[in-house]
Amino acid sequence: MVTGKFGIELECYNATQIQVAQALVNAGINAITSGYSGTNYALWQIKTDGSINGVNGFEVVSPILEGEAGIAEARKVCEVLVAIGAKVNQSCGFHIHHNAKTWGIQEFRNLFKRFVKFELALDSVQPTSRRANNNRFCKSIVMNTVAETFAKIDRCTTVQQLSTAYGSNRYYKLNLQSFFRMGSVEFRNHAGTVEADKVEQYIRLTFAMVKDAQDHVAIKNFTQVTTAKEALDTMLAGMVRRGHIGNYTAKFYKKRAVKFSKEVTV
C-alpha cells in the first residue's frame, strides 16, 4: 500500500492545453493551463513543454498527491487523457516525485544504491529508448560498474555531493537534485504513457524503493554477474516479502519484461 506523498508528470501530445484543462475540470479535477515554469502545485497544471515532438505537446503536472486516494486521482486523470485522444511517443516521459523532506544522507545513499543495483532490472521493463544511456533526458546513474558506483556513493558525505556524483544536471534516471528545489526524489526513467495501469504500478514500484530506503533495509551489490531477469526477480521478490508491493504489481512487471524481451526495437 502506498502511504506517502508523491507527484507525477505526464508528457503527451495531440491535444491543446485548453482542451486538456477543460476536460479535466469537466471530470471534477481542479486544473489550469500554465507556462513551463508554473508553480501552482495546489492543482493540476497543463504546461508547455518544448522537448515533446508532435502536434500540441504538453505536460500534465499533478499537485501533491498522497496514498491510495492519490493513485485513484492519477488514474482518473489518465482516463480523461485517453478519452480526449492524448498520445505519447519516444520524446515523452513519465516522471514521479516522492517526498523526501525528512531524509538525511543515509536514506539518500540507500535509494541511490538500490537504484544502481537494480538499474538493469528497471531497464528491462522499459522500451529500448529509455534504457542504458539511450535517452539524454534519463541517463544511467551507474558510473562504470555497480561496485565502483557503490564506492563513490560511500565517499559522499553530504546530500549535495550525492546529487551531483553522476552529473551536474537533473537529466538522469534518478534525480536527487529535485530535493533542493522541491524536497523530493525524482524517478525519470519511465517511458511516456497515459495508461492508468502503467502509471499506478510505477507509483507503487518506486514507492517501494523509497520505503526500503527510509526503512534502512540493507542493500548490497550482487556477488556474481546477474542477468536482467535475475535482478528483476530478486528486486520484486524482496518488495513482496517486505509487504511494499502486492503480487499483482510483481506479476505486472514480470509480464512487461517478457514482452520487451521479445521485441528487437521498441
The helix, strand and coil proportions of the chain, stated in percent and rounded to the nearest 5, come to 45, 15, 40
pLDDT in tens, 75-130: 999 999 999 999 999 999 999 999 999 999 999 999 999 999 999 999 999 999 99
Q: How far apart are CA 206 and CA 249, in angstroms?
A: 11
122 and 57 housed in the same domain: no
64: cell is 501533491
What is the per-residue pLDDT for 266? 37
Show the domain range for 26. 5-91
Q: How far apart are CA 34 and CA 18, in angstroms?
A: 10
- Residue 230 neighbours by CB distance under 10 Å: 14
Per the structure, the count of domains in the chain is: 2
pLDDT in tens, 207-220: 999 999 999 998 99
Q: How far apart are CA 196 and CA 200, in angstroms?
A: 6
115: cell is 537504484
Strands (E), 155-201: 174-175, 184-191
Q: In terms of Cα–Cα distance, which of 104, 119, 71, 95 is closest to 179?
A: 104
Task: Show which of 31, 60, 91 is a domain's final residue.
Answer: 91
208 and 114 housed in the same domain: yes
Cα torsion for 233, 236, 240, 245, to the nearest 10°? -150
In the numeric block, the cell 538500490 is attached to: 114
Q: How far apart are CA 77 and CA 167, in angstroms?
A: 33
> What would the mean pLDDT of 35-52 be, rounded to a whole number?
87
Domain contains 178: no
Beta bridge partners of 97: 7, 186
Query: H or E element: which one contains 8?
Result: strand 5-12
179: cell is 530535493
Find out whether 140 and 172 touch, Cβ atoms under 8 Å.
yes
157 and 114 housed in the same domain: yes
In the numeric block, the cell 556477488 is attached to: 223
pTM listed for this prediction: 0.95
pLDDT in tens, 138-185: 999 999 999 999 999 999 999 999 999 998 899 999 999 999 999 999
130 and 235 housed in the same domain: yes
Domain contains 73: yes
